[in-house]
Amino acid sequence: MVENVDILRDQIRAGDRRALAKAITLVESTRADHRQQASVLLEALMPDTGNSIRLGISGVPGVGKSTFIEALGNYLIEQGHSVAVLAVDPTSAVSGGSILGDKTRMETLAFAENAFVRPSPAGQTLGGVTRRTRESLLLCEAAGFDVILVETVGVGQSETAVADMTDMFLLLLLPAGGDELQGIKRGIMELADLILVNKADGEQANTADQTLNDYRSALHFMKSRFAHWQPSVMACSSLHNQGIDQVWQQVEAFRSALTEAGELEQNRALQARTWMWSETAEALIADLKNHPQVQSLVPELEQAVTEGNLPATVAAQRLIEHYKAGD
Ligand code: GDP
C-alpha cells in the first residue's frame, strides 16, 4: 500500500498532511505487511515525536465535546498553534455505527489550515482502537502538530484508555441542578485534571454556578493524579466561545507545573512502559490462540472448565505448557 516508507517518513517530517493521513491509514490496517511497514515508519519517526501537549477530552454524548474542540481548536490556531484531533470511539466496534464518526462534526476546524481532524478507527475492539490512536498521535507529533486533542465518549473504559495516552484529561459536564453528580462514576472524576461545566450560558448560567460548587466540593474528597497539580472546576460556553482562553491558561499552567517537577516526563515514560507490556501480552495471547497444539486442546479444556471439572488455573497452565513445548 505504501511504495516507499522512507519517502513517507520525509513527507510527514515536512508536515505534509496527505502523507500523514496515508500513514494513519497504514497504522490502522490490520494486514501483516501493513503492520510491518507501520512499525518501520513509526520507529524511524520516534525522534520527531513528543513535542506536543496531549489532551484527553471526555463527556457524555451531547455535552458539547465537538463544539468545545472546535472552539478550543480555532482559538489555538489563532494563537499560532497547530492542532490535531483524534478520537477513541469503542461504540463503532460494537454497533457498527459510531457516536463520534459523524462527518458534520467540527466543520470549521476540519477545514482550517493548521488543523487535522481524524475520526476513530472503525470496526475494531477498544484495544485495537487504542493502539491505533496512540500510533496516530505519534505520527501527528512527527508531522509537527503541537497540540493533540484525543476525544472520547463517556462510556467507561475508553476514558481510562485515553487518560493513559495523554498528559492532561479534561472532563466536560452539563449544568445540572440538584445534588446528583450526573451519574459520573467516581473513577472517571478521579481521572480528570480539569472539569469543565459547559453550556454555562443563557438560562443555564445560574444552574452552572450551582454545578460548579457541587463539583468543587466533590473534588475535595478526591485524590489528584499528579503530586504537582490540583484539579479544578471551571465554567465555559463552547457555543459562545466563553471561557475558552481560561481553559487554555489552565492547560499551560498544568504543563509548566508538571514539566518543572519532571512529572510530565515521568508520566509519559510510565505510559510507554505500560503500553509495551500490554502490547506484549496481547501479541502473546494472539500467538498462543493461533498455535495448532493449543488450538486442538482448547475445546476439551474449555468444556472441562465450563462443567467445573477442571480449575481454570490448571487449564491455563496446560495451554501454556503446550504452547511452550511445541514450536
Ligand atoms: P457532543 O456529542 O458531546 O460532541 O456534543 P456537541 O458538540 O455535538 O453538542 C451537542 C449540542 O449542544 C449541540 O446542539 C450544540 O450546539 C450544543 N452546545 C454545545 N456547546 C454548547 C454551549 O456551550 N452552550 C449551549 N447553549 N449549547 C451548546
pLDDT of residue 321: 92
Average pLDDT taken over every residue of the chain: 89
pLDDT of residue 309: 95
Residue 231: band (very low, low, confident or very high) from pLDDT cuts 50, 70, 90: very high
- Closest by CA to 226, choosing from 299, 147, 167, 293, is 167
Model confidence pLDDT, tens digit, residues 2-36: 778 999 999 999 999 999 999 999 999 989 999 99
**Residue with CA closest to ligand 1 atom 22:** 199
Q: What is the whole-number distance in angstroms between the Cα of residue 46 and the centre of ligand 1? A: 36
The pLDDT of residue 103 is above 50: no
pLDDT of residue 189: 84
pLDDT of residue 187: 79
Q: What is the whole-number distance in angstroms between the Cα of residue 239 and the centre of ligand 1? A: 7
pLDDT of residue 104: 58
Contact 237 CB / ligand 1 (< 6 Å): yes
Model confidence pLDDT, tens digit, residues 239-248: 999 999 999 9
Residue 111: band (very low, low, confident or very high) from pLDDT cuts 50, 70, 90: confident
Residue 327: band (very low, low, confident or very high) from pLDDT cuts 50, 70, 90: low
The pLDDT of residue 278 is above 50: yes
pLDDT of residue 98: 55
Residue 313: band (very low, low, confident or very high) from pLDDT cuts 50, 70, 90: very high
The pLDDT of residue 172 is above 90: yes
Q: Between these two residues, 255 and 61, which has the higher pLDDT value?
A: 255
| Domains located in the chain, CATH noted | 1-46 (1.20.5.170), 49-260 (3.40.50.300), 273-325 (1.10.287)
Q: What is the whole-number distance in angstroms between the Cα of residue 211 and the centre of ligand 1? A: 17
pLDDT of residue 204: 85
Q: What is the whole-number distance in angstroms between the Cα of residue 313 and the centre of ligand 1? A: 49
Assigned C-alpha cell, 216: 468543587
Contact 131 CB / ligand 1 (< 6 Å): no
Contact 59 CB / ligand 1 (< 6 Å): yes
Ligand 1 pocket mutation pick from 63, 66, 67 by most atoms within 8 angstroms of CB: 67
Q: Which atom of ligand 1 is nearest to the CA of 61?
A: 2
pLDDT of residue 176: 80
Q: Which atom of ligand 1 is nearest to the CA of 202?
A: 26
Residue 190: band (very low, low, confident or very high) from pLDDT cuts 50, 70, 90: confident
Model confidence pLDDT, tens digit, residues 37-74: 999 999 999 999 999 999 999 998 889 999 999 999 99
**In percent, how much of the chain has pLDDT > 90?**
64
Give the helix ranges, DSSP H, for the chain.
5-13, 17-28, 32-45, 65-78, 91-95, 107-111, 126-142, 157-163, 186-191, 205-220, 244-261, 263-290, 292-306, 312-325
Assigned C-alpha cell, 50: 513528543
- Name the DSSP letter for residue 241: T
CB burial class (10 A; 0-12, 13-18, 19+) of residue 227? Answer: exposed
- Could you give the CA distance from residue 63 to residue 53 in angstroms, rounded to a whole number? 23
Model confidence pLDDT, tens digit, residues 132-159: 999 999 999 999 999 999 999 866 688 9
pLDDT of residue 101: 54
Assigned C-alpha cell, 110: 476540519
Contact 198 CB / ligand 1 (< 6 Å): yes
Residue 179: band (very low, low, confident or very high) from pLDDT cuts 50, 70, 90: low
Contact 65 CB / ligand 1 (< 6 Å): yes
Phi, psi of 240 (to 5 degrees): -105, 15
Contact 211 CB / ligand 1 (< 6 Å): no
pTM assigned to the model: 0.90
